[in-house]
Structure 1
Amino acid sequence: MTARIMIVDDAAFMRMMIKDILSKNGFEVVAEAADGAQAVEKYKELKPDLVTMDITMPEMDGIAALKEIKKVDPSAKVLMCSAMGQQAMVIDAIQAGAKDFIVKPFQADRVLEAINKSLG
């Protein structure tokens, strides 16, 4: 079965890059969101197998969105993505329930490794 993935990033080109990596490797991108609030709504509606979540976004940041999604679905699988390799943010994300952390700019193999590991 193909994993259904939602991509959340306020930068359209980042969403496009991730979507490109996923599509080429047989994953189905079921939704995209430009901020955390949209991500939470779309998660409730679509229940994707995995979410890639940017941290720094308008409206609601990725860590707040992660916490909301975890309230809705405690078993949600969320991968955090950020250009900021700040230890505190990585720790916050993991404590909030993120499965893994990918640093921008992405290496396709690192993205796929994190996704495959998270999907178990």
Structure 2
Amino acid sequence: MRKVFSRAGIVALSLALSVPVFAGSAQAFDGPAAKNSWGCDNSSNRVNFSYTPGTVTTTVYYNNHCNYTVRAAARIEDHNGSVSHECFSIPAGKKSHIKFQQGASGFFIGIYKC
């Protein structure tokens, strides 16, 4: 029978397998990427949102093409099923991001009009 691994190879493999899988950035795999947008009043412009729900936090990227401040709400469900709405304002013509903390047992539902 042929030797597949050397002793040093087996030690290296066992060390590699002992590193927790969650040591890296697991946020990208916590939920499906999502988008939402709606039109500005009296204009063909839009306000756009994109986000990938994470385990503990979710970063929402936005781009407001409206010529006025837009109010939006993040819907977050906690471990016991109650849903909260965190409203925030996006200045006219602003492109940036905002981070929401939902906790390890919470779930980020989405972005809606406030």
TM-score between the two structures when normalised by the length of structure 1: 0.24
TM-score between the two structures when normalised by the length of structure 2: 0.25
- Of Structure 1 and Structure 2, the greater strand share is in 2
